[in-house]
Structure formats: structure tokens, C-alpha cells
Amino acid sequence: MSDLSATERCVKCGLCLPHCPTFALTGNEADSPRGRIRLMQLLDQTEIPLSSGLFTHLDQCLQCHACESMCPSKVPFSDLMDTARARLEAIRKRSFGQRLARRVGLAFAASRGLRRIGSRVIHAAQRLQLDKAALRLPLSTTARHSLLALAPAGDPRSRPAPGNQSPAGRIQLFTGCTGDALDRTTLAASRRLLSRLGYAVDEPSGQGCCGALHQHNGELQTAAHLADINVAAFRGEDPVLCFASGCAARLQDYARYSNAAARLAQRSVDILGFLAERGKPAAGFAPLRARVALHLPCTHRNVLQQTQAITEVLGWIPELDVITVNPDGGCCGAAGSYMLSQPDMSARLADGVADRIRDSRAGLLLTTNIGCALQLRATLAARQQPLEVLHPVTLLERQLAD
């Protein structure tokens, strides 16, 4: 197993502390990047007995990369946390129910066959209107509303015909494990927008989960295996577009595995970054006199570091008033499976962002990551603060002139 020696790069300067969302919540040094690095160093000294607190404080990290993106000593915090969690996983004691839920969740993400079966079961339940029973299940707010969010929005099979006409070029679309299960609206809008802009859209059939959930939950071998599957699926040299910022961040991290994986990492881009780079389409966009709240996911801000591309492409819509609700940071607490595994911390973080959304007085919320969209949709619904939540791509496609 890889080591934790890079913790030695931390000079304990504390410059990362004001940027850490969990430290801001608890004020506890053990919930800060510097404190967690110290805990990892203790974990590395195997003669010291592990306390439950060590598990708790490492588990409560969001893997938001805020500390890593500003660390002057370039401490590879996320890699270290992945390694630490893999080590903890080997010695962690879980109840049978916890083990089962974890296994099912990770297997569902990794297996196309399981996702297909699960999707059919859920859609059958929706036809029978059994899905509303999800609101009575003993789950966190986000988990309950996530089940409801599985409702089909658009036909996932209605892919645009690739055709021979591709005046703008060819692209490959990464749909990930959640695209056709949890975010069909964005998937359908991405297909339509790219096709209408003249791109030939290919969706390689062998693609699968990006592996981010596994990587950040101590399942490093499975994460590497999922990367291999995507490397095999995405052949050629065309750009690979992701509409979930978490997936784009993960694909760009594939460079660690092999030369072939590094080439896929280089071709992988966030869809809004791609559009911004290509420039405003000649067709133009219909005006929209509305105020929208823009939430910047941690992956878009701290890993892709491309948030200006989002505001740039939204600026193509005349009269649109965009209020960024978290320009200074502020994690919504979704963080992959964090919203399920750490419901209390997650809910407190989501409430902070929901307050800012309320204060913005916007009539629509935009965010670029599916996990953040689920989390904020559920939080706003629970607070009786109903607001439509969309990916910016969906708004662009709606406003694209004929």
C-alpha cells in the first residue's frame, strides 16, 4: 500500500485553515487540514493504538481540495486522504447493515448491469407511484429526495444520430454512472446543445463510472479498474466532454495510472470549459430577463479551476443576471457519498449555502455537479424554499436561438 510520507511536506503554517469548510463549522483543529495531516502521521506510526476520534475526523473530511489548491508547500492532501482511508478501511469495524449499504452503493456505481436493473425497478415503482414512499423511509433528507430524483426526465435512449454532418467537429460524451440514472435532464440537454451547435456526438457504449466514489472511499484497486474500463472505451483523439464537474476532475486525474490513461486525462474537459474555449456560437441566444443563483462546486473551483468559463458562457444569454452565491468558497456538503455517510455535517453545510441562495432572491439555481444539485434540491425542498435546480448546459440549450 502507498505510504503517507508526503505528510512531511506540511510545514504546519496553518494558511489552509481559513479555507477548510469543516474547520469553519467545528473550530476543532482535528477537523482542519493541518490537524488531519497530523492524524495521518499518527496512523503511519502503527505502534500507536487508533482511537475512534481518528476515524471520525478523517471521515469528516469532504475531500473538497480547498486546502490543497492554496497550500504553498504543495502537500498532495487528496492523495494522502485517499491512502489514509484505504488503510483505515482495512481495519475498520462496520455493522452488517453499514457494510451492506456500502457494498451495494459502490457496486451500483461500478456495474452497468446493476444500474440497469436498479433503474428498471425504480421506474416501475414510479409508474405504480410507490416512489413517494421514499419520503417516509428512515434516510437522510438528501437520500430520500435522491430516490425521488430518479424520475425520468427525457428519454435516455433518445440520442442524437451521430450522422456525417459535423461542421463543428466530433466529440465523445462521458455520461458516467449517474448521468442516465440521476441527471437525464442534463444528459439530454447536453446531447441536444452539442448537436445543434454542429458537433457529432459519440457516446462510447463501453464507458462506466469514473471511479471517484471508490477512490475517495478507500477502494483504490476498484477505482483503478474503472479507469481501465474507460481508457478502453474512449478510443481516438476526440475531446471527451463531461457534464458533471466531479467526473471531469476524476478523469483528469487518470494520468497517475498509465500513458494511455494520461492521454485520456488530457482529452477530458468540462463541457462548459470546452464551449467557452470554442467561443460564442454564431446562432446566439434568446434574452432571459431573470436572476439566477450560481453555485460553484468544489471540484469546479478547486480541481478544474475553471469557474470563469461558467460565467463566461452564461454571459452569452442577454439580460441574464447571474449571482454567484459562493464566490469565496462554501461547500454544499454533497461531496460524493459524504451526504449519506455524514448527514449532520453535510446538512449544516447545505444550510449555509441555502441561506445564501435565499438571500440572492434568485428564481433559478444553477450548479455544475450532479451531487451538489441533488443535495441543494433536497435541502431547498426541506426548507420550503422551492427553486428549480439546473445545470447551466440545460439553460443554454433552452435559450439557444433556432
Question: Using CB under 6 A as the criterion, which residues of the chain lie in contact with ligand SF4 when the complex forms?
Answer: 10-16, 19-22, 33-34, 36-37, 61-67, 71, 73, 75, 77
Nearer Cβ to ligand SF4 (175/367): 367
Nearer Cβ to ligand SF4 (34/267): 34
Q: C-beta of 370: minimal distance to ligand SF4 in Å?
A: 19
Coil/strand/helix, residue 202: strand
CB 346 within 8 A of CB 337: no
Nearer Cβ to ligand SF4 (84/106): 84
Q: Which residues of 129-146 are buried (b: 16+ CB within 10 A; e: fewer)?
A: eebeebeeeeebbbbbbb
Q: C-beta of 350: minimal distance to ligand SF4 in Å?
A: 14
Closest CA to 391 of 192, 160, 162: 192
CB-based burial of residue 113 (10 Å sphere; 0-12 exposed, 13-18 middle, 19+ buried)?
exposed
CB 334 within 8 A of CB 372: yes
β-pair partners for 174:
242
Q: C-beta of 40: minimal distance to ligand SF4 in Å?
A: 11
Cell 462506466: give the residue.
208
Q: How many CB atoms neighbour CB 14 within 10 A? A: 11
Nearer Cβ to ligand SF4 (68/270): 68
Q: C-beta of 71: minimal distance to ligand SF4 in Å?
A: 3
Q: C-beta of 211: minimal distance to ligand SF4 in Å?
A: 18
Nearer Cβ to ligand SF4 (208/330): 330
Q: C-beta of 81: minimal distance to ligand SF4 in Å?
A: 7
Q: Tell me the CA distances in angstroms from 61 to 32, 56, 167, 323, 349, one per residue in order.
A: 8, 9, 46, 28, 12
Q: C-beta of 227: minimal distance to ligand SF4 in Å?
A: 21
Q: C-beta of 113: minimal distance to ligand SF4 in Å?
A: 33
What's the CA gap between 111 and 115, in Å, rounded? 6
Nearer Cβ to ligand SF4 (81/380): 81
Contacts of 178 (CB under 8 A, 6+ apart): 109, 244, 370
Type and span of the H or E element at 243: none
Nearer Cβ to ligand SF4 (22/306): 22
Give the largest CA-CA distance in the chain.
68
Nearer Cβ to ligand SF4 (210/331): 331
Nearer Cβ to ligand SF4 (65/377): 65
Q: C-beta of 78: minimal distance to ligand SF4 in Å?
A: 7
Pairing of strands 169-174, 240-242: parallel
Closest CA to 397 of 173, 121, 192: 192
